[in-house]
């Protein structure tokens, strides 16, 4: 049985993140979605709120568990028994930064592999930051946020 981890900030989860989760859940026996803290980002949602939002989106996926993780991803992955780190790639810039992270993780623990899943073309522009930016100007984010959490996210982002 292969257990994988999909770490991220998910502030908030987007339809792009959810697509990666659904695809990874088909590939791996168990998938842990780990809400991680990123000290370089100021989050709008608390870690617990992000966890709850993701749980609403994945309740139909029995092999997916959502947790709040801490520390270095590769160390957390080892702690919870994951052999693979799943990362989504949207563009060349993502690849460059993800390659650096994967290489660093490999130097810290060469028993955990990193798997890149390429974003669908129609979702390749999407990010939590873009979603929050659009929302901050009152724009429609219904195509960017899973329907299960649209009201929750819109309320938090003060979207009318």
Count other Cβ atoms within 10 Å, centred on residue 142.
13
Catalytic site residue from 50, 51, 87, 128: 128
- The answer to whether residue 41 is catalytic is yes
Instruction: Give the residue carrying structure tokens 């709008």.
Output: 44
55, 32 Cβ separation under 8 angstroms: no
Using the CB atoms, write b or e for 59-79: b if 16+ within 10 Å.
eebeebbbbebeeebbebbbe
Q: Are strands 3-8 and 84-89 parallel, antiparallel or unpaired?
A: parallel
- The answer to whether residue 17 is catalytic is yes
Catalytic site residue from 17, 51, 87, 132: 17
Q: Give the integer Cα–Cα distance in Å for 131 and 133.
A: 5
Catalytic site residue from 50, 51, 90, 132: 90
- The answer to whether residue 50 is catalytic is no
Main-chain phi, psi angles of 10, to 5 degrees: 55, 55
Main-chain phi, psi angles of 3, to 5 degrees: -110, 130
Catalytic residues: 17, 41, 90, 128
């Amino acid at each position: 049985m292969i257990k994988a981890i999909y770490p991220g900030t998910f502030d908030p989860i987007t339809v792009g993140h959810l697509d990666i989760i659904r695809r990874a859940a088909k590939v791996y026996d168990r998938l842990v979605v780990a809400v991680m803290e990123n000290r370089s980002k100021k989050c709008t949602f608390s870690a617990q709120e992000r966890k709850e939002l993701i749980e609403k989106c994945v309740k139909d996926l029995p092999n997916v568990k959502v947790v709040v993780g801490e520390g270095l991803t590769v160390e957390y992955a080892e702690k919870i028994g994951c052999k693979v780190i799943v990362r989504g790639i949207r563009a060349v810039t993502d690849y460059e930064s993800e390659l650096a992270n994967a290489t660093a993780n490999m130097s810290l623990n060469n028993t955990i592999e990193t798997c890149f899943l390429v974003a669908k073309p129609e979702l390749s522009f999407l990010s939590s930051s873009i979603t929050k930016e659009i929302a901050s100007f009152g724009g429609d984010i219904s195509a960017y946020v899973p329907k299960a959490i649209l009201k929750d996210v819109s309320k938090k982002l003060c979207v009318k």
